Each structure stands twice: as structure tokens, then as C-alpha cells.
A and B are shown apart, each in its own frame.
Chain A
Amino acid sequence: MKKVILFAKRNLTEMIRDPLLYIFCVGFPIFMILMFNVILHYIPDGQSPIFYEKSLIPGIVMFSYSLLMLMSSLLISKDRQSAFLKRLFSSPLKAYQFILGYLIPFIIVGLCQTVICIVSGYISGLISGRGFVDFGNACLLFIEMLPMMVICISLGMIFGTILNDKSSPAVSSIFICASGILGGAWMPLDTMGNFEKACGFLPFYESTYLGRCITGATHTPIDEATTLNPVIYNFSDRGTLYLALMIAYMVVLVSLSLFAFTNKMKKDIS
């Protein structure tokens, strides 16, 4: 465990010293929240509840993790490129210690991101008067988002392991786009019928949906009735399915990243 912590500390230091971390993982989510506040200013009230804090923040948190995915794929592919990691392969560090050593600092950064997004949402909700969530639900939202965080970090670790430092950010960007659109952060998927259902089976939308159930967000109005009586995201709709799916994705992707890294390590030593 001491060696894991040692390696994790090195990776955390490496990330903290990378200005990209602040731009991507902290700056960007906050920028998004500000931007949607500006957009809301120009849209008639009640038209786009998807941009209200209750809807937006779960989406932003989910999206911020996809930037974390980029960071993790970058760090690992860069490490693989350098002789540093190869040298570590001749040290007493074992494969699982490498994985944990990478995972832990990303989780720490991810937790900070989540707190920053939720607090920003709270402040934004306070200023705009639309409100956000109480402390209890904020904690619940925080916990609900954890599997999504692990999913994104695992994806990043897989990309970083199997791709080089040129193509891994490219592939990560595809996933960043995908999470922005298919994750429903700012796309009113709930007006899109079967498309929404399809997105529900990809690993992004579940966390957004579940998060909105927790914040008590309202669906995008599709006719006069729903404009007058907004429908709230309801856990009993698809919640259990999405929760199960999200956890399944997490388990599968964590295992895959373990497998990919161990395999790569074996292949490098051949």
C-alpha cells in the first residue's frame, strides 16, 4: 500500500502541475454554468428548464468527468511514451499497484470537481433565485455521480493504455463530444422519444437522469399542458434500470482497464 500511495502521490503532483487541469477540470465546468446563465437570460421563462441549475448541474458534473477522462488518458499515454514507466516496470511495483496509483489521484481530482460543480450550482441557484438542492440532496447527488466518475476514469485509463499520446486525446475528444450530446447535459433528450431511450443504454445519460431525479429537475415542456404543469424527473420511471446499468458499466470498465494495463505491461516485457 505504501508503494501505491507513493505512486499516486507522484501522479497527483504531475496533474496538479499541469495547467490543463485547471482549465479543463475546474475552469470549463464553471464557464459552462456561467454561459448557460447568459443563454437563459435571452430565453423566455419556463421554456428551457434544462438550463436551470437543477437540470444543468448533474449534466455538467457528468460532462466534467469526461474531461477527467481526457486527463487520465493523457497522463498514462505520456508516461508510457517516456522511459519513466518502463523503468518502473523493473522496480518492485506490481500491475495492480500501477492501476491503483493512477486511479486514486484521478478520483481525488474528480471529487474536487464534483464539489466545485455542486457549490457553483448552489451559488448560481441562489443568485438566480431558481434554487438548487438542500444539503442532503447535494450529498446524495455527490454519491450518485461516483460511478460515472469511475466509468470515465476507467475509459481514460483504457485509452491511455492502448493508444499513444497522439491518438488518445483524439479518441477522448470523441467521447467528450458524445458525453455532451448523448449524456443530455444540454440536449433536451427528454423531448426526443426513442433517441432518449437509446441514449439510456450508453454510459452517459444514466448519471444525468438519476442526478435530475435527486435534484427534482423538471422535464422540458412539450405541449401546453406540460408548460403549465411541469413534470418532474421521476426515479420510479427508469431509475432502477439506469442505476443497474451505470453500476454494470462501472464494473465492466474497471475490469477492462485492469485487463488492458496488465496485458500491456506483459507485452512490453517480452
Chain B
Amino acid sequence: MEIIRVEKLSKNYKALKALDEVSFSIKEGELFGLLGVNGAGKTTLIRILSGLAKKSGGDAVVDGHPLSEIDEIKKIIDISPQETSVAMNLTVKENLFFFESLYGSHDEEYFNKIVDSFSLKEILNKRAKTLSGGWQRRLSIAVALISKPKILFLDEPTLGLDVLIRRELWKIIKSLKGETTIVLTSHYLEEIEALCDRVAILSSGHLLDIGTVEEIKEHAKVNSFEEAFVKIVGGDIK
């Protein structure tokens, strides 16, 4: 069953077409990847779907609600933005509580589960600003999950993190597969390859291809995902 359908969605910033009539759909429970180089329009797409930006044209239906019913959509989604976004003067625990209560009520079991899977137990009482960048990002993703969203948007979740932390985050994200529909953006090919059920390739606001990693390799008639990406995006990478 599809949970997000994007139909000819466009976004213009003055003369710049950040998104140009993009259409595709995402199935419930899927871990869906948006792949594209910097400036492709990934963040713009996620911002529109989560009510942080207005569309210029087209529409999207999220869990049965068109974008005009964004207040309804906001109740079932959560987003971990590109920048780490937690309350820096609150402790890890307070951050988790804050975001949990913002959307609903406290569920001790689920709360502990999130704390466990993100290994936050030891730092529960530390203030967010005292954590390292990697741990702040971890917390930022954890607070997005604590509200039990039906759909979770992860915008460049491992941007700027070192390899080890990235691998660990991958593990966590993989473990969430199936329960929550996850839309993840990245410009790291290996990240998309490692995690995503299906991928959409965006370039300069256009959707160039969509499918599983295998399908995309087939479309491009090459053996590696990287070659396929280069071939599809073509002139955009020099």
C-alpha cells in the first residue's frame, strides 16, 4: 500500500526550479532513499512533505491527506533535519521527554527501547551541548523517533560523521525497517546502497530514475551502483 504519493510536485525559488514536476510514490513500511548531489532538491522535497516549506505546484498525498491538510500530516510524521536540532541546554532525557510529550503521551517501554537502540543510557543526564557532534546527531534522530511517527524523514542523517559512527547509525536505521516508513536522503551512494529498499535519483529538481538498487543498475546497464549513478546523472557530476 502506498503511504506517500507525490504528483508533479514543483518548487520554485524565484527563477530557480528546486523541484520540477516530480512524481513518485512510497510504499508503507519502506525504507526509501532520495539520492542526489548537493542542491538536487532532496531537502526541499522533504521540507514540503513535512510542512516546513510550501509547494509551488502539483500536490502530494501523505497517508491519505493532501498537502492542504498539513496539520493532519504533522501529527503522524517526524523529521530529523539536515542540521542537528535538539534543545542544547536540555539533557538527553529531557529532550526525549519533550519531543515525546509534544506528540502524545509517555510510553515507558518504547522510551526504553529507543534509549537502548541508540545506546543513550549512559548519557541520559548529560546536556545536549556537552555531547560530541556524532552523539548530538544520534540524539537528533532518536527524538524524531520517540514520537512513534508513522513516517520518518531523515535528511542526510550521517552528514559529516566519521565512518564508525556512520556504520552504527546505519545499524540503528536498519533495525527500524518495517515498523516505520522511512524516507532518507543522502548523497553517499554506499549509504543508499546499504540501507534502502528503493531509491529515487534526483538531479537539479528532476526525478531521473526510481527503483531498487539492482533495477537502477539494470536500467543503466552497468555493474556498480556508482557507475549507474554517474551514467544517469550524467553531465551533472564532473
Chain A positions near chain B (C-beta within 8 angstroms): 2-3, 6-7, 10, 13-14, 17-18, 82-84, 86-93, 268-270
Q: How far is the CB of B108 from chain A (nearest CB, A)?
A: 18
| Residues on the A chain within 8 Å of B51, using CB | 89-90, 269
Within 8 Å by CB of A92, from B75, B82, B89, B127, lies: B75
Residues of A within 8 A of B78 (CB): 90-91
Contact of B89 among A6, A14, A83, A87 (CB under 8 A): A14
Contact A87–B81 (Cβ < 8 Å): yes
A-B contact sample (17 more), CB < 8 A, given A6-B102, A87-B81: A6-B98, A10-B87, A10-B94, A17-B127, A83-B84, A84-B86, A86-B52, A88-B102, A90-B78, A90-B79, A91-B78, A92-B75, A92-B102, A92-B103, A269-B52, A269-B53, A270-B54
- Min Cβ gap A48→B in Å is 42
CB contacts under 8 Å to A, within B142-196, are: none
- A270–B94 contact, CB under 8 A? no
Chain B residues close to A by CB (< 8 Å): 50-54, 71, 74-75, 77-79, 81-90, 94, 98-99, 101-103, 127
B83 to chain A, nearest CB (A): 4
Q: Which residue on A lies nearest to B73, using beta carbons?
A: A90
Using Cβ atoms and an 8 Å threshold, which residues of chain A touch B88? Answer: 82, 84
Q: Could you jot down 7 A-B contacts, CB within 8 Å?
A: A10-B90, A84-B86, A92-B71, A92-B103, A93-B102, A268-B52, A269-B51
Give the distance in Å from the alpha carbon of A13 to the alpha carbon of B89 in the complex. 8
Closest Cβ of chain B to A236, distance in Å, is: 49
Instruction: Tell me whether B54 and A269 are in contact (CB under 8 A).
Output: yes
Residues of A within 8 A of B94 (CB): 10, 13
Instruction: Compute how far the CA of A83 lies from the CA of B90 in the bound complex, rounded to whole angstroms.
Output: 15
Residues of B within 8 A of A3 (CB): 101-102
- Beyond A13-B94, A14-B89, A93-B102, whether A83 also contacts B83 by CB under 8 A is yes
Residues of chain B within 8 A of A88, CB atoms compared: 102
Question: Given the complex, which residues of B lie within 8 Å of A82, measured CB to CB?
Answer: 83, 85, 88
B135 CB, nearest partner CB in chain A, Å: 16
Closest B residue, CB atoms, query A5: B101
| A3 (CB) vs chain B CBs: closest residue | B102
Of chain A, the residue at the smallest CB distance from B75 is: A92
> How many Å lie between the Cα of A92 and that of B31 in the bound state?
24
Per a CB cutoff under 8 Å, which of B82, B87, B101 touches A84? B87
B102–A270 CB distance below 8 A: no
CB-defined contacts of B53 to chain A, threshold 8 Å: 269-270
A83 CB contacts on chain B under 8 angstroms: 81-85
- Tell whether, in the assembled complex, residue B52 and residue A84 are in contact, meaning their CB atoms are under 8 Å apart: no
